[in-house]
Amino acid sequence: MSDFGWPLVRFILIRLLYTVLVLIGVTIAVFFLMQIVPGDPVKIALGTRYTPESYEALRSASGLDKPLFTQLVNYLGNAATGDLGVSFRNNEPVTHMLIDRLPATIALAVAAILVALVIAIPFGTWAALREGRAADNTIRVVSQFGISVPDFWMGILLIALFSTYLGWLPSSGYRSPADGFVPWISHLVLPAITVGVVTGAIMTRYVRAAVLEVANAPYVTTAESKGLGRKRIMLSHIGRNALVPVLTISGIQLAGLLGGVIVVEVVFAWPGLGRLVYDSVAARDYPMLQGAILLIAAIFLIVNLIVDILYAVIDPRIRLS
């Protein structure tokens, strides 16, 4: 294997090992956190159907009558095979319900991050290259306003304008791609813009800072003194070196969006992971809440792993460290 290939493979294997170890730690932490949450989940799940017999039957079926260490070992073993238990609320497998919600979450997260990048990259770069001028100050003020606006308020304004007043787009709900491209995209536009605008405002400031730091670096000044064109300097020096911090914030934002945007999903009746977590908390559905938290943690780790690999591909110095 070449000198280029082995360091990259080694870097990926080490990061993959870290990811697995952290995921095991998160699984154990989530398990114990659920143990200290106030209230008896079995009694809450039964509600008005509670009887001593039904209580003991559900405890036994859920494995909650076993010693704590045995419960932990069983949970780790089941989680490793994809079995996250059964929902107290509707008696369905947690894994199946999470998989059913995942496509809506992925669609919203990917669409929102694309909207955010379309906003952040050009405006953040433009502001950095015109530091201290009117364009820079205007973009900074507008981005601060975007950060300060609550996403639910943004969503309500968009619904009022495009759904109620203009009647162009549906106000809520979700359609899968199997229902047709137009119904799918029409239901996706408003929540994606709502999340994307707020996320784009945050990312604009990071892009500006990243480009500004690279643009003031000595090697860029040297390139300018050699008479290289501004376009070449931007593509070969500034753009490539500013990409690593931009990838960082993009990965963090995407991971957060894949975990579900609870408020926006409630406003738009979007059946994603965030809405599922909200409903699980309201219903005290501990197996579902436990599985959802574990899935969200796994999504964060996977996205961070992908970002780390992209770092190593973009900057050879990282995989050699």
Closest to 259 in 3D by CA, of 230, 292, 228: 292
DSSP state letter for 234: I
- pLDDT tens for the 321 residues of the chain, in order: 444 566 667 777 888 888 888 888 888 888 887 777 666 667 766 666 777 777 777 777 777 777 778 878 888 888 888 888 888 777 788 888 888 888 888 888 899 999 999 998 888 888 887 877 888 888 888 888 888 888 888 888 889 888 888 888 888 888 888 888 888 899 899 999 988 888 888 888 888 888 777 766 665 566 556 555 565 666 555 666 667 777 778 887 887 787 767 888 888 888 888 888 888 877 777 888 888 888 888 888 888 888 777 776 766 655 555
CA distance 49 to 39: 17
CA distance 252 to 260: 13
Is the pTM higher than 0.85? The answer reads: no
Residue whose token pair is 């799918």: 184
> Domains of the chain (ranges plus CATH)?
4-95 (no CATH), 96-284 (1.10.3720.10)
Closest to 43 in 3D by CA, of 70, 67, 64: 64
CA distance 254 to 249: 8
Closest to 75 in 3D by CA, of 50, 57, 94: 94
CA distance 107 to 262: 15
Model confidence pLDDT, tens digit, residues 136-156:
888 888 888 888 888 888 888
pLDDT at 1: 45
Give the helix/strand (H/E) hosting 294.
Answer: helix 286-314
